[in-house]
């Protein structure tokens, strides 16, 4: 199957109609001196931290609640995520990696700042920072500690390096004491950082 989201131009890029309009407008405004592209980037960055990863939280909550969906997500995350209506614009593939007692996953993009924004919104500023990008690979346990995540020594940490073609979504461990909770309630426990791997899902007490 492979690139089936990327129908007609497998090796070429594609911009959606709305992205074309935004680029057309911005490039003309920049040329005429009305807009400074650096200022736009800076403004966008200001709001990046405010973006809620609601789509991803729905995906994870469904995976927790529905074993068949979880299997599908692990086998073909692109299709399983698309089934909920969350589709990337550039045909990037999604891979879901699941945290267990023995293994913890963390996502980084060492080359640039590839990020699964259809499910997680815009990336946080730290995700794009050089220190995170290099240290997540060299010292993931140290990076996790700085995020307040302390895992047992017996838990293996796997680091996933995103590319332009493959984006990773971490399925955090479902917290104890959440049996019988609805998908909507479970989604409240799923934080952005828990889906990057730099955090854990919230405990149910924390959201009551």
Partner 1 sequence: MSRHEDMVRVATEVAPIPRDEDGAPVFREPWEAQAFAMTLALHDQGLFTWTEWAAALSAAIKQAQASGDCDDGSTYYQHWLSAIERLVRDKGIASEQALASRRDAWDRAAHATPHGQPILLANDPLR
Given the rule CB under 8 A, which residues bind partner 1? 6, 9-15, 18-29, 32, 34-36, 39-40, 43-44, 46-48, 50-52, 55, 89-91, 117-118, 121-122, 163-165
Cα 30 from Cα 26, distance rounded (Å): 6
Catalytic residue status for 134:
no
- Cβ of residue 84: shortest distance to partner 1, in angstroms? 14
Catalytic residue status for 162:
no
- Cβ of residue 8: shortest distance to partner 1, in angstroms? 9
Contact 101, 155 (CB under 8 A): yes
User: Closest Cα to residue 65, out of 189, 167, 192, 196?
Assistant: 189
The two three-digit tokens of residue 208, written as one number: 């009551």
Cβ closest to partner 1, residue 20 vs residue 125: 20
Cα 183 from Cα 62, distance rounded (Å): 6
Catalytic residue status for 113:
yes
- Catalytic pick among 13, 16, 27, 112: 112
- Cβ of residue 23: shortest distance to partner 1, in angstroms? 5
Consecutive H or E run containing 174: none
The residues annotated with a catalytic role in the active site are: 109, 112-114
């Amino acid at each position: 199957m492979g690139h089936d989201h990327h129908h007609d131009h497998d090796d070429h890029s594609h911009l959606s109609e709305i992205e074309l309009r935004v680029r057309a407008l911005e490039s003309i405004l920049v040329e005429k001196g009305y807009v400074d592209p650096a200022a736009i980037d800076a403004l966008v960055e200001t709001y990046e931290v405010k973006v809620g990863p609601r789509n991803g939280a729905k995906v994870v909550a469904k995976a927790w609640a529905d074993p068949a969906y979880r299997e599908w997500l692990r086998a073909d995350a692109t299709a399983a995520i698309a089934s909920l209506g969350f589709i990337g614009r550039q045909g990037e593939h999604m891979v879901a990696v699941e945290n267990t007692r023995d293994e913890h996953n963390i996502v980084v993009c060492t080359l640039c700042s590839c990020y699964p924004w259809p499910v997680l919104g815009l990336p946080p500023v730290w995700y794009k920072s050089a220190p995170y990008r290099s240290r997540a690979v060299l010292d993931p346990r140290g990076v996790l500690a700085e995020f307040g995540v302390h895992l047992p020594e017996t838990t293996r940490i796997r680091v996933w390096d995103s590319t332009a073609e493959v984006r990773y979504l971490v399925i955090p461990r479902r917290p104890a004491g959440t049996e019988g909770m609805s998908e909507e309630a479970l989604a409240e426990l799923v934080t952005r950082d828990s889906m990057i791997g730099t955090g854990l899902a919230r405990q149910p007490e924390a959201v009551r």
